Structure 1
Amino acid sequence: MELVFKLLYAFIAAFIASFGFAVFFGNRGKYIFLAAIGGALAWTSYIYFLPISMALAAYVSGSVCAAYSELLAKIYKSPAAIFLIIAILPMVPGADIFNTMKAAVFQDYTLFSRSLNNTLTISGFIALGIIIIFSLVVLQKNIRRNWRNKDSMLS
C-alpha cells in the first residue's frame, strides 16, 4: 500500500511540474494536459523501477515517454516533440548535473566522477529508450509502406 501512495504522489507531483513547463513552453489547449500526463507517466515509471536499477528506470521511463508521445502524435496528428519534450523534463538529472559542476568547481574529483557517471547513465539510458521506440516506429512505418507497395505491384 505504501508503494501505491508513493507512486500516486510521484504522479501528481510530476503532473504539476510538467503542466507548468507545458504552459511555460507555450503548448496550447488540450496539448498542455496531455503533455503533463506524459511527464507524470514517465516519472511514475521511473520511480517504480528505481529500486531495481537506476539504468533500468531511466530506460523504461524514456521508453514510456517516447511511446506515449508517438501514440498521441498519431492520434492527434501532431508532432511527437510537443509531448516528448514536456514528458522528459521530470526525468532530467538536475541534481546530478548540479553536483557534477559543483564538484568540478571545488575540485572534488571523487564526487565529480560519481556525479558525472550518474548524469551520463541516466541521460544515456533515457536517450536509448527514446531512440529504440522511435526506431521501432520508423521500422513499423517502413514495413507497412513496403507491404502496401508489394500488394499494389502484385495486382
Structure 2
Amino acid sequence: MSTAALLEQGFWAFVATLGFAVLFNVPTRMLLICGVAGTLGHMWKRALMAHGIDVVMSTYIGATVVGLVGYTQARFFHMPRLIFTVTGIIPMVPGVPAFETMVYFMRDDIPTGLETLVRTGLIGGAIAVGLVTARLLVSFGDKDDGYNPRGLWQRGMVQFEAGHHKGD
C-alpha cells in the first residue's frame, strides 16, 4: 500500500469516526481527538495488512492503538473513555465480511458462509480483546482505595499534592 493510499484510508477513517462522534453527541471540543483515535487505529490496521499481517491480528493491534489513545485521552481530559473508544473503533467494524456472510448463506453456499462467519467473529473478537488489552495496560497498578484513584503514572503527583513528600 502506498503512502498516499494509506493517507486516504486515514482521511476516510477520520471522517467516519467524526460522523459517529457527532451522532453519539460527543462534546465538540473532543471531536478532533476522537477522529485522531479512529484514524490512528485504522491506519495501523491497514499498514499492517499491507505488510502481510493477517486481518485478525491487524485488527487486534489497531483496536489496541485506539484503546491506548482513548484511555489516555480520557484520563487527560477527564472524560468518559467510551467517548474515544466507541467512536474510534467504528472504522474497524467488519461490516463487509458480515454482509458477505449473509450473501453466502442466502445463496446456499453454507461452507463459504460458515468460513466468513468465523472470520467475521474473529475480527469482532480481536476488536474486543484489543480494547481489553489497552485497558489492562493503562490501568496496570491502579488502586481503588479512594486515595489513589489513578495508576502508577500519577501517584507521585497525588502524594506531592497531599503533602507526603519523599524526604519528609
TM-score of the two chains, using structure 1 as the length reference? 0.86
Q: CA deviation at 1:140?
A: 2.6
**Is the 1:69–1:84 contact (alpha carbons within 8 Å) kept by the matching residues of 2?**
yes
Q: CA deviation at 1:114?
A: 1.9
Does 1:99 pair with 2:100?
Answer: yes
Counterpart in 2 of 1:82? 83
Amino acid at match of 1:54: V
SS in 2 for 1:141: coil
Amino acid at match of 2:21: A
Q: CA deviation at 1:8?
A: 0.7
Structure 1: distance between partners of 2:128 and 2:66: 10
Counterpart in 2 of 1:127? 128
Structure 2: distance between partners of 1:128 and 1:113: 22
Structure 1: distance between partners of 2:16 and 2:137: 29
Q: Which runs of 5+ in 2 are unaligned?
A: 144-150, 157-163
Counterpart in 2 of 1:16? 15
Counterpart in 1 of 2:31? 32
Structure 2: distance between partners of 1:26 and 1:102: 33
Structure 2: distance between partners of 1:7 and 1:105: 34
Counterpart in 1 of 2:67? 66
Q: CA deviation at 1:15?
A: 0.6
Structure 2: distance between partners of 1:9 and 1:144: 38
Q: Which runs of 5+ in 1 are unaligned?
A: none
Report the structure number with the largest CA radius of gyration. Answer: 2
Structure 2: distance between partners of 1:144 and 1:47: 33
**Structure with the higher fraction of residues in helix conformation:** 1
Deviations 1:80-138 (A, max 9, x none): 10000000000000011111123233322122112112201211112111111112223
**Is the 1:65–1:84 contact (alpha carbons within 8 Å) kept by the matching residues of 2?**
yes
Identity of matched residues, %: 26
Identify which range, 57-66 or 30-39, moves more after superposition: 30-39
SS in 2 for 1:140: coil
Structure 2: distance between partners of 1:139 and 1:40: 25
Q: CA deviation at 1:36?
A: 1.2
Deviations 1:8-27 (A, max 9, x none): 11111111111111111111
Deviations 1:37-78 (A, max 9, x none): 111111101101113221220111010010000111011011
Amino acid at match of 1:82: I
TM-score of the two chains, using structure 2 as the length reference? 0.80
**Is the 2:72–2:138 contact (alpha carbons within 8 Å) kept by the matching residues of 1?**
no
Structure 1: distance between partners of 2:77 and 2:134: 19
